[in-house]
């Protein structure tokens, strides 16, 4: 086994480090450390000169570990790693010690202690470097095709965005037609155009596109594999077809809540939801003379605390629709708050009021009551502003309900190994920092599948999901930084802690040469180390952050207290 030969390069960083830390002392100290065969100081180790020196000394001194003591690894680590590689040294045999942000810059008034600290940090860095091992980055091919689950507005938009880049797309839709939720909607807010005007051309483009294969009346039955290489089986009419894709977009949408048990829905024939209203009247049929629309039905209540976001706009849309057909109609919108966000919807709301739609505010504590024996005849409500109860005679009651997550989201979430949130919608990796993606690589989500969203929102998200889903395909490769976990199967006892601990489902128990042991799928491993810390026997380790490496740093620091440093 070749002797470990560590080279230490201590940077002055101009005056940033050198002005506080006595760099030559640190260099001298480094030379005394076990396994260090070479040490020098540089004015700027990251400069051309500094990098050349590293490369030269690797060759000249036969260095097989490099420690640079300078700034934070978060800036120049790739630079130094590249220099090592250029000199023929595996880039994972490099260790960075931070003696600027963590030392010279924060102990400016105590050069003696700062120098002492720098020495100790270098000691720790060298101790770790000795135990670094060469690593190869895991590369996995990406199969150049994408799966879009769901053929609604979001799904179709995502499919087109992907296909227009030349990527093969498989679009799987459960119903016999494309269109999703908005097929049941007759007109769109705030433009009031016919849905068909938007939907038909979109569906035509999808069907005509040479890069998109559409599966109608089909469902995804199983998914296995990981980013770059998913095996998907799709069932159509009892026939199963296998597909291979690199990335997956979830665009399965949501459904309108049918509020059975609320406001006598299901009991009285003329109490309907917004979608049902559209179905009944917009394709012909008389407009009812007087209508009470009740908002927030089954939303913003203890059992379902969220707001459906655009159902108010839907209510306003249908209220306007009625007033335009019959200016004498009496349309009441019983609301708790009007969610008219953005410019267009606010203007839409204004218009409704101008047309004579009456907006009445009610309290969640005293909700409206639907009166009538075998038909709804009136709605009694505590008018919040007037402070008294009013009874509104009506021919029909329309209930505005939010979108709710589909029942079978659970099945799909398990198939794809992606989580659901508390309301049953798909849960993204991070609400603020990582929308559209999941923690599970290669799977993305857009549209109402993640939470109620209107058409422009769904389409924007679809474009975002398509963009993200195309990146691995364009790159052709998924490269994983070699800081992944690895299990020593000879000493693993298959207790299963690691499997539970992994946030990414990257660890499984498998039957191997040494019986049942844990196995890490490197393509899925993110290098967090949760599994390593959970392993009681130390069989699971993390490349670049192994127990041995960390312990060596602890030991190196502790040795200082028992006479290691002068």
Partner 1 sequence: MQDKLQEVVRKLLAEGAVEYFIGYCQSSQPHRAVPCFVSDESEVEKLVWGPLCGQNLSKYVLRANELEGKVGILLKGCDTRAIVELIKQHQIERDKIVAIGVPCQGQVDGRKLEKALGVSLEQVTNVEDAGDGFLVTVGEETKKVPKEEVLLDKCFRCKHPYAFPYDVTLGEVVPFTIEADVGEYAAVEELEALPIEERRAFWRKQFERCIRCNACREACYACYCKECLFDRKMPRWLAAPPLLSENEMYHLIRAVHLAGRCIDCGECQRVCPVNIPLGSLYRKIQKDVAELFDYEAGMEMDTVPPLVNFELDDQDPFL
Partner 2 sequence: MVSSSDSLGNGFEPKILVFACNWCSYAGADLAGVSRLQMPPNCRVVRVMCSARVRPEFVITALSKGLDGVLVLGCHPGDCHYSEGNYFTRRRGLLLRKLLEYVGIEPERFQVRWVSASEGAKFAETVERVTEQIRALGPNRPRSEVLPTEPGDK
Interface of this chain with partner 2, residues 28 to 87, rule: CB under 8 A: 34, 72-74
Stretch that binds partner 1, among 296-304, 307-315, 470-478, 535-543 (CB under 8 A): 535-543
User: What three-state secondary structure class fits 495?
Assistant: coil
Binder to partner 1 among 75, 269, 548, 558 (CB under 8 A)? Answer: 548
Shortest Cβ 247–partner 2 spacing (Å):
20
Interface of this chain with partner 2, residues 391 to 430, rule: CB under 8 A: 429-430
| Contact flag: residue 191 with partner 1 (CB under 8 A) | no
| Contact flag: residue 563 with partner 2 (CB under 8 A) | yes
Contact between residue 332 and residue 358 where contact means Cβ atoms under 8 Å apart: yes
Interface of this chain with partner 1, residues 459 to 498, rule: CB under 8 A: 490-497
Task: From the list partner 1, partner 2, none, pick the one residue 563 interacts with, judged by a Cβ distance below 5 to 8 Å according to partner type.
Answer: partner 2
| Contact flag: residue 560 with partner 2 (CB under 8 A) | yes
CA–CA gap between residue 337 and residue 296 (Å, rounded): 9
Stretch that binds partner 2, among 209-217, 265-273, 374-382, 497-505 (CB under 8 A): 497-505
Shortest Cβ 303–partner 1 spacing (Å):
20
Interface of this chain with partner 2, residues 93 to 112, rule: CB under 8 A: 98, 100-103, 105-110, 112
| Contact flag: residue 419 with partner 1 (CB under 8 A) | no
Task: From the list partner 2, partner 1, none, pick the one residue 420 interacts with, judged by a Cβ distance below 5 to 8 Å according to partner type.
Answer: none
Task: From the list partner 1, partner 2, none, pick the one residue 114 interacts with, judged by a Cβ distance below 5 to 8 Å according to partner type.
Answer: partner 2
| Contact flag: residue 14 with partner 2 (CB under 8 A) | no
CA–CA gap between residue 554 and residue 566 (Å, rounded): 18
CA–CA gap between residue 535 and residue 141 (Å, rounded): 31
Cα→Cα distances 231→224, 225, 244, 470, Å: 5, 6, 5, 18
User: What three-state secondary structure class fits 285?
Assistant: coil
Residue 467 half-sphere exposure, CB side, CA atoms within 13 Å? 8
In the complex with partner 1, which residue's Cβ is closer, 222 or 537?
537
Task: From the list partner 1, partner 2, none, pick the one residue 74 interacts with, judged by a Cβ distance below 5 to 8 Å according to partner type.
Answer: partner 2
Tokens standing for residue 189? 């807010």
Which has the closest alpha carbon to 105: 78, 72, 79, 132?
A: 72
Q: Position of tokens 């005007």?
A: 197
Cα→Cα distances 48→44, 53, 299, 479, Å: 9, 9, 63, 28
Tokens standing for residue 45? 């180790």
Cα→Cα distances 75→284, 328, 380, Å: 66, 70, 67
Residue 395 dihedral angles phi and psi, to the nearest 5° = -95, -15
How far is residue 527 CA from its own chain's centroid?
17
Question: Does the CA dihedral 419-422-426-432 come out positive or negative?
Answer: negative
Q: How many amino acids of this chain bind partner 1 (CB under 8 A)?
A: 22
Chain positions contacting partner 2, by CB under 8 A: 34, 72-74, 98, 100-103, 105-110, 112-114, 116-117, 120-121, 124, 127, 429-430, 433, 439, 483, 501, 503-504, 526-530, 532-534, 542, 545, 547-548, 550-566
**Under the rule (CB under 8 A), what is the footprint of partner 1?**
490-497, 500-501, 509, 516, 534, 536-539, 546-548, 551-552
């Amino acid at each position: 086994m070749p002797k470990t030969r560590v080279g230490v390069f201590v940077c002055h960083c101009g005056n940033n480090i050198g002005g506080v830390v006595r760099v030559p002392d640190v260099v001298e100290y480094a030379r005394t450390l076990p396994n260090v065969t070479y040490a020098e100081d540089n004015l700027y180790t990251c400069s051309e000169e500094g990098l050349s020196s590293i490369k030269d000394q690797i060759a000249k001194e036969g260095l097989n570990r490099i420690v640079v003591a300078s700034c934070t690894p978060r800036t120049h680590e790739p630079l130094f790693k590249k220099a090592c590689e250029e000199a023929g040294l595996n880039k994972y045999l490099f260790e960075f010690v931070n003696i600027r942000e963590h030392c010279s810059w924060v102990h400016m008034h105590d050069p003696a202690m700062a120098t002492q600290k720098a020495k100790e940090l270098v000691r720790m860095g060298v101790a770790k470097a000795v135990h670094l091992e060469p690593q190869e980055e895991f590369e996995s091919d990406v199969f150049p095709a994408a799966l879009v689950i769901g053929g609604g507005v979001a799904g179709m938009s995502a499919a087109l965005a992907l296909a227009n880049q030349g990527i093969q797309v498989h679009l799987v839709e459960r119903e016999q037609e494309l269109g999703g939720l908005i097929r049941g909607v007759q007109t769109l807010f705030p433009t009031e155009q016919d849905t068909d005007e938007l939907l038909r051309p979109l569906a035509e483009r999808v069907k005509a596109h040479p890069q998109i294969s559409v599966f109608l009346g089909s469902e995804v039955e199983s998914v296995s594999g990981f980013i770059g290489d998913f095996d998907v089986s799709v069932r159509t009419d009892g026939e199963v077809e296998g597909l291979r894709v690199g990335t997956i977009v979830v665009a399965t949408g949501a459904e309108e809540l049918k509020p059975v048990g609320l406001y006598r829905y299901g009991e009285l024939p003329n109490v309907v939801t917004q979608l049902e209203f559209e179905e009944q009247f917009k394709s012909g049929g008389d407009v009812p003379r007087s209508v009470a629309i009740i908002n927030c039905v089954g939303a913003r209540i203890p059992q379902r605390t969220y707001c459906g976001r655009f159902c108010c706009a839907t209510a306003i849309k249908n209220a306007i629709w009625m007033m335009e057909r019959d200016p004498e109609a009496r349309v009441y919108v019983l609301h708790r708050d009007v969610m008219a966000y953005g410019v267009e919807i606010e203007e839409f709301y204004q218009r409704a009021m101008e047309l004579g739609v009456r907006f009445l505010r009610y309290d969640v504590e005293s909700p409206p009551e639907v009166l009538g024996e075998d038909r709804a005849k009136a709605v009694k409500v505590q008018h919040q502003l007037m402070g008294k109860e009013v009874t509104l005679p009506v021919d029909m009651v329309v209930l505005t309900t939010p979108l709710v997550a589909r029942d079978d989201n659970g099945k799909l979430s398990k198939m794809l190994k992606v989580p659901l949130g508390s309301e049953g919608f798909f849960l993204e990796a991070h609400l603020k920092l990582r929308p559209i993606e999941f923690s599970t690589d290669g799977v993305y989500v857009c549209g109402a599948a993640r939470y109620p969203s209107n058409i422009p929102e769904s389409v924007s998200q679809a474009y975002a999901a398509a963009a993200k889903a195309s990146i691995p395909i364009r790159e052709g490769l998924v490269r994983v930084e070699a800081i992944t976990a690895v299990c020593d199967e000879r000493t693993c006892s298959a207790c299963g802690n690691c499997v539970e601990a992994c946030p990414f489902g990257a660890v499984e128990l498998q039957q191997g040469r040494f019986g049942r042991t844990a196995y890490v799928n490197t393509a899925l491993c993110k290098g967090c180390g949760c599994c390593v810390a959970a392993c009681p026997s130390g069989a699971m380790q993390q490349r670049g952050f192994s127990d041995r490496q960390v312990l060596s740093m602890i030991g190196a620091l502790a040795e200082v207290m028992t006479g290691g440093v002068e």
